[in-house]
Amino acid sequence: MAKTFHLEIIAADRVFYQGECEHLVITAIDGLMGILPGHEPLVTCLPTGELKYMTNGVWHYAAISEGFIQVLPDKSVILADSCELPEEIDIKRAEEAKERAQEQLRQKQSIKEYYQTQAALNRAMNRLKISQKHFK
Ligand code: ATP
C-alpha cells in the first residue's frame, strides 16, 4: 500500500496546497475524520473549522472556511472559500470581524442576514482559535 496520497487544497483565491500527504484530518459535520492512503471514495461538506495534514512526518495546521472534500484512494481534493495557515492569520482583523458580527447579531436582521452574520462570526472565531492554538 502506498505511504502517501495526493492532496489538493484549493481556496477561492489561491491554491493553498498541492502535493503528497501521509495523513489528513478534517473536521466534518459529524466530527473529526482521518484520511490515509487507500481511503474509500466519498464526498462530504466541510464546515468552517480546522484541518491538519502530515507531510514528511510533520503536521501542518490550517483554518478552513466552508467547502467540500472529495476523497479517492490515491487523491483528496478540498475546495473551500478560504484557507489560512495559523501564522497567516491577522488576529486584529479577525477580532474586528468578530466584534462586527456580534454587533450585527444584536440588531434586527432578516433570516438570510442572520445566517450570513452567524457564518462570519464562525469564521472569525475559528481564525482566532487556530491562531492561538498553533501560532506561538
Ligand atoms: P473579513 O470581514 O475580515 O473580510 P471574512 O470572514 O469575511 O473576514 P473571508 O471572506 O472568509 O473573510 O475571506 C476573504 C479573504 O481574506 C480570504 O482570502 C481569506 O483567506 C482572507 N482573510 C479573511 N480574514 C482573514 C484574517 N483574519 N487573516 C488573514 N486572512 C484573512
Instruction: Report CA torsion sign: 30, 3, 19, 8.
Output: negative
**70 and 101 together in one domain:** no
Total domains in the chain come to: 2
User: With bands split at pLDDT 50, 70 and 90, how would you rate the model's confidence at 132?
Assistant: very high
User: With bands split at pLDDT 50, 70 and 90, how would you rate the model's confidence at 124?
Assistant: very high
**69 and 33 together in one domain:** yes
Domain span including residue 22: 5-84
**95 and 119 together in one domain:** yes
- Atom 14 in ligand 1: which residue has the minimum CA distance? 82
**101 and 69 together in one domain:** no
Which is more confidently placed, 113 or 2?
Answer: 113
Residue 136 clears pLDDT 80, i.e. is over it? no
Residue 75 clears pLDDT 80, i.e. is over it? yes
Arithmetic mean of pLDDT, 45-55: 97
Residue 1 clears pLDDT 80, i.e. is over it? no
**34 and 78 together in one domain:** yes
Measured CA to CA in angstroms, residue 120 lies from 65, 117, 126 at distances of: 10, 5, 10
Domain of 19, CATH number, reads 2.60.15.10
**80 and 113 together in one domain:** no
Lookup: cell for 89: 492569520
User: With bands split at pLDDT 50, 70 and 90, how would you rate the model's confidence at 31?
Assistant: very high
Do residues 70 and 43 make contact, with C-beta atoms less than 8 angstroms apart? yes
Q: Name every protein residue with a CB atom under 6 angstroms from any ligand 1 atom.
A: 13, 65, 81-82, 84, 88-90, 93-94, 97, 120, 123, 127
Q: Best substitution site from 14, 93, 96 to test ligand 1's pocket, by max atoms within 8 Å of Cβ?
A: 93
First to last CA, the chain: 36
Q: Which residues pair with 44 in a beta bridge?
A: 69
82 CA → ligand 1 middle, Å: 7
pLDDT score for 135: 80
Strands 23-28 and 49-55: antiparallel
**36 and 101 together in one domain:** no
46 CA → ligand 1 middle, Å: 17
**98 and 78 together in one domain:** no
